[in-house]
Amino acid sequence: MPTISKNIEKLLNNQIEKEMNSSQLYLAMSCWCEDQGLVGSSKFLYTHAQEEMQHAHKILKYVQEAGGVAVIPGIKEPAKKYASFKKVFEDAFKHEQDISSSINKIVEATLTAKDYTTFNFLQWFVSEQLEEENLFRSIIQKIGMVGEDKRGIYLVDKDLGKSIA
Ligand SMILES: [Fe+2]
Ligand SMILES: [Fe+2]
């Protein structure tokens, strides 16, 4: 008998899709930034896109290991253009908040189903979401501090590039 129920399997497959879409979103943001000459942010977002794909694979492997079948979703096209440098990170922050609530909903479902194995598996994602929300929140705060003129953007961009070097 599989460890996960059909319902939990479905929720996890849904989350795989969300993580892959996150990866696509950050990749698109990375390309937009590079096109604007924001090399540091581009690198930062590119790395982040790779992390999101790793999240998707982490869930994929778990679904398979727990006796379910992972579903590979089709590719969804994210937005190509962003109104401003700050908007990129505001969108990213909002996106991470949505992802957190999605993870929390699955956690809730595992408790209802008394699926403590998946509950335990998801704890890594719960902590990860706290980190990611804080990360994007801190970038928005930084932009708020230095301002959105060219010099301010240059400083934050450089800082973001350094953060992944
Ligand atoms: Fe993620
Ligand atoms: Fe994320």
pLDDT at 2: 86
State in Å: Cα 22 to ligand 1 middle. Answer: 7
Helix axes 116-146, 85-112, angle to 10 degrees: 160
What percent of the chain has a predicted confidence (pLDDT) above 90?
Answer: 98
Q: With left for phi above 0 and alpha for psi between -120 and 50, is residue 111 left, alpha or beta?
A: alpha
State in Å: Cα 1 to ligand 2 middle. Answer: 32
State in Å: Cα 2 to ligand 2 middle. Answer: 28
pTM for this model (two decimals): 0.96
State in Å: Cα 125 to ligand 1 middle. Answer: 7
pLDDT digits (tens, 9 = 90+) for 99-129: 999 999 999 999 999 999 999 999 999 999 9
Residue 71 pLDDT > 80: yes
To 5 degrees, how large is the angle CA 126–CA 130–CA 132? 110
Residue 55 pLDDT > 90: yes
Q: Are 92 and 136 in contact (CB under 8 A)?
A: yes
pLDDT digits (tens, 9 = 90+) for 14-34: 999 999 999 999 999 999 999
pLDDT at 165: 76
State in Å: Cα 12 to ligand 2 middle. Answer: 15
pLDDT digits (tens, 9 = 90+) for 124-149: 999 999 999 999 999 999 999 999 99
Q: Are 62 and 121 in contact (CB under 8 A)?
A: yes
Q: Are 81 and 135 in contact (CB under 8 A)?
A: no
State in Å: Cα 150 to ligand 2 middle. Answer: 28
